[in-house]
């Protein structure tokens, strides 16, 4: 159990969004809390997280934000959808890349089909940068990137699960594709799979300006967070901050806090 008292940090957010009764069900459009309830305490929480994330990229312009967590169900996808909305409410043009090719669900949150012929996995396979295009010029970005019901938020759904997601993620094509997104959008947010047991997020961290880790207060063990940190260090990537999703499943509420410089403060 990670207590907020153990952090010498400002608690940025407060009681949030009501959880589904079963405590585990995956939300759809009802997860778009910042869009549907922009004055809620949850929306305020996400805006604080947005501000902190913005300020955590002092050395370079903030363009690409990666979100991961130790395990499944820690709230990565939920945070990504709402954080993207918060940036868009500031007038930014935001792209969500569903980088979870194994169980991506951003399309469910935004109510957009995950076209088996399109999506991120297919886009990487077929992407060529403009100079290489030639005969490939028929690849139209709009086949892959879809506008969402949230003004300013665009979504690249995960697409079909490839035999080896890591190979696609590590490819030169993926690098070029993500570089092109940097030029086309104000903010790119990548929703990644969990960082323990899978290397996808670590590989993707090379393309991100800021890496955010979401943890579940009631569930995440400090060792798991430390392991995530070590894994990032091994690939020379830094974690800019942690979003603590404090689950109180019985009562049906979660809270979120944003923390940085947290490691030494957690017991």
List interacting residues with ligand ATP (CB under 6 A): 16-17, 19, 25-27, 31, 69, 72-78, 100, 103, 105, 193-194, 245, 254, 256
Instruction: Give CA–CA dist 137/115, Å, rounded.
Output: 20
Query: Rounded to 5 degrees, what are φ and ψ at 66?
Result: -110, 135
Shortest Å, Cβ 93 to ligand ATP: 23
Residue 20 vs 265, nearer CB to ligand ATP: 20
Shortest Å, Cβ 50 to ligand ATP: 15
Give the C-alpha distances (Å, rounded to integers) separating 60 from 56, 95, 121: 10, 19, 28
Shortest Å, Cβ 189 to ligand ATP: 13
Token duo for residue 109: 């949150």
Token duo for residue 88: 């868009």
Shortest Å, Cβ 164 to ligand ATP: 19
Residue 127 vs 203, nearer CB to Mg ion: 203
DSSP 20: P
Shortest Å, Cβ 24 to ligand ATP: 7
Give the footprint of Mg ion on this chain (CB under 5 A). Answer: 76-77
Residue 7 vs 31, nearer CB to Mg ion: 31
Residue 110 in contact with residue 35, Cβ under 8 Å?
no
Query: Residue 256: which of Mg ion, ligand ATP, none does it interact with, CB under 5 to 8 A by kind?
Result: ligand ATP
Instruction: Give CA–CA dist 66/60, Å, rounded.
Output: 15
Shortest Å, Cβ 105 to Mg ion: 6
Residue 245 in contact with residue 214, Cβ under 8 Å?
yes
Strand partners, 244: 215, 257
Query: Residue 74: which of Mg ion, ligand ATP, none does it interact with, CB under 5 to 8 A by kind?
Result: ligand ATP
Residue 13 vs 56, nearer CB to ligand ATP: 13
- H helix runs in 187-259, sequence order: 200-204, 222-234
Residue 63 vs 76, nearer CB to Mg ion: 76
Q: Which residue in the shown chain puts its C-beta closest to Mg ion?
A: 77
Instruction: Give CA–CA dist 124/121, Å, rounded.
Output: 5
Query: Residue 216: which of ligand ATP, Mg ion, none does it interact with, CB under 5 to 8 A by kind?
Result: none
Query: Rounded to 5 degrees, what are φ and ψ at 166?
Result: -65, -35
Residue 113 vs 251, nearer CB to ligand ATP: 251
Instruction: Give CA–CA dist 229/246, Å, rounded.
Output: 20
């Amino acid at each position: 159990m990670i207590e907020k008292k153990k952090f010498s940090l400002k608690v940025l957010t407060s009681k949030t969004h009501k959880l589904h009764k079963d405590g585990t069900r995956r939300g759809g459009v009802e997860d778009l809390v910042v869009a549907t309830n922009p004055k809620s305490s949850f929306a305020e929480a996400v805006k604080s997280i947005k501000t902190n994330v913005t300020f955590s990229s002092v050395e370079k312009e903030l363009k690409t934000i990666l979100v991961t967590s130790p395990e499944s169900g820690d709230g990565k996808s939920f945070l990504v959808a709402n954080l993207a909305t918060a940036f868009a409410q500031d007038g930014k043009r935001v792209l969500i890349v569903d980088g979870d090719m194994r169980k991506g669900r951003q399309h469910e949150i935004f109510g957009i089909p995950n076209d088996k012929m399109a999506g991120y996995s297919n886009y990487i396979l077929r992407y060529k940068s403009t100079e290489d295009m030639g005969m490939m010029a028929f690849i139209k970005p709009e086949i892959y990137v879809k506008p969402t019901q949230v003004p300013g938020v665009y979504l690249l759904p995960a697409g079909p699960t490839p035999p080896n997601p890591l190979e696609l993620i590590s490819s030169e094509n993926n690098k070029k594709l993500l570089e092109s997104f940097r030029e086309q959008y104000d903010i790119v947010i990548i929703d990644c799979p969990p960082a323990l047991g899978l290397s996808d997020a670590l590989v993707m961290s090379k393309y991100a300006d800021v890496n955010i880790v979401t943890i579940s207060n009631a569930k995440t063990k400090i060792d798991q967070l430390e392991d995530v940190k070590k894994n990032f260090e091994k690939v020379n990537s830094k974690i800019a901050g942690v979003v603590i999703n404090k689950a109180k499943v019985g009562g049906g509420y979660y809270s979120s806090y944003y923390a940085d410089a947290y490691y030494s403060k957690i017991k």
